[in-house]
């Protein structure tokens, strides 16, 4: 399994990208998600599902998974898996991320902002009093600082407890992906990018007798059964000092070609 920590500007937090591969087609994956996972509902925790029961919400080729703690317990900080299905040469790429519920994440941001603002405002008041040569006449400002710190610590302590409880829930979802969807981890896909239904696979080549790498890559497209319906090798005269830089530029150029922003570069069916 490839875990890539990155900053997701849309959600304002660290996102943990996870990639799996399965030999099943996207349609078969959807069929199994529909039949082997319980449809998510607001009242699921009141129905007494066994611990580890996996719930799903389907939206086309995208899906959301959650897992039950059991004994009608609820975890506001439970992990949620948001994934998507995309056909590739080996079957289906399952790509997604584990993270807390978006509503909970928004609340934590608001809570942290409130606590920090509370502490800062009281510290500013105390600093202003000392700067004017007059210490605060009572302990209210100091109490305000203390309350703000306590609220902040309590909020993040609850998050830590919820994250610990969510370990089993995440394990249940990972086991579901491995068993029900026959998915297996892939740690060698860090340079392969799937973009708008296309596969961009860098193949930068080192020039003979030179410490330079030439930009080369392959663009593929697969049908719903995973069969290749388009494949084109593309190269450019651009050279770079390292393979990593060449691969990064290859991916960028591949996206531009797919978007139709490179004059004269047309992807045609093989």
- Per-residue DSSP letters for 84-106? EEEEETTEEEEEEEEEE-HHHHH
Res. 65 pLDDT band, cuts 50 70 90: very high
Cα separation, 135 vs 87, whole angstroms: 68
Query: Mean pLDDT across the stretch 81-102?
Result: 84
CA-to-CA distance for 180 and 182, rounded, in angstroms? 6
**Nearest-angstrom CA–CA distance, 186 and 148:** 45
CA 60 to mean position of chain CA atoms: 18
Q: Is 0.75 topped by the overall pTM? A: no
Which 3 state secondary structure label does DSSP give 126?
Answer: helix
Average pLDDT rounded to a whole number, residues 230-252: 85
**Which residues are CB-contacts of 37 (< 8 A; sequence separation ≥ 6)?**
54, 55, 56, 65, 176, 180
Average pLDDT value for residue range 233-240: 86
Q: Return d(Cα 43, Cα 255) in angstroms, integer.
A: 43
How far does Cα 67 stand from its chain's mean position?
A: 17
What's residue 72's pLDDT? 66
The dihedral formed by the CA atoms of 114, 12, 173 and 30, expressed in degrees to the nearest 10? 130
CA distance 120 to 122: 6
State the DSSP code for 139. Answer: S
Average pLDDT, the chain: 80
Q: How many Å apart are CA 167 and CA 51, to the nearest integer?
A: 12
- What is the rounded CA–CA span in Å between residue 251 and residue 132? 59
Q: Does pLDDT of 11 surpass 80?
A: no
Taking only the tens place, the pLDDT of each residue in 170-208 is 888 988 998 999 887 664 555 678 788 888 888 888 887
pLDDT at position 2, please?
31
Average of pLDDT values for 258-262? 86
Inform me whether the pLDDT recorded for 270 exceeds 60: no
The answer to whether residue 238 scores a pLDDT higher than 70 is yes
């Amino acid at each position: 399994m490839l875990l890539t920590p990155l900053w997701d500007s849309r959600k304002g937090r660290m996102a943990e990208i996870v990639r799996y591969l399965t030999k099943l087609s996207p349609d078969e994956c959807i069929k199994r998600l529909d039949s082997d996972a319980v449809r998510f509902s607001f009242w699921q925790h009141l129905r007494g599902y066994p611990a580890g029961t996996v719930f799903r919400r389907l939206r086309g080729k995208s899906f959301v998974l959650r897992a039950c703690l059991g004994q009608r317990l609820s975890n506001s900080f439970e992990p949620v898996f948001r994934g998507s299905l995309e056909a590739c040469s080996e079957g289906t790429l399952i790509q997604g991320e584990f993270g807390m519920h978006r509503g909970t994440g928004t609340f934590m941001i608001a809570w942290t902002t409130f606590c920090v603002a509370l502490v800062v405002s009281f510290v500013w008041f105390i600093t202003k009093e000392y700067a004017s040569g007059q210490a605060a006449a009572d302990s209210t400002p100091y109490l305000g600082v203390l309350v703000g710190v306590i609220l902040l610590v309590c909020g993040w302590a609850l998050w830590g407890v919820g994250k610990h409880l969510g370990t089993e829930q995440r394990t249940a979802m990972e086991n579901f992906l491995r068993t029900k969807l026959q998915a297996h981890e892939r740690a060698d896909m860090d340079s392969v990018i799937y973009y708008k239904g296309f596969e961009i696979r860098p193949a930068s080549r080192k020039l003979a007798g030179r410490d330079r790498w030439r930009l080369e890559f392959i663009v593929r497209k697969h049908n719903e059964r995973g069969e290749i319906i388009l494949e084109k090798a593309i190269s450019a005269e651009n050279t770079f000092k390292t393979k990593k830089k060449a691969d990064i530029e290859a991916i960028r150029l591949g996206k531009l070609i797919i978007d139709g922003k490179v004059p004269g570069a047309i992807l045609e069916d093989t």
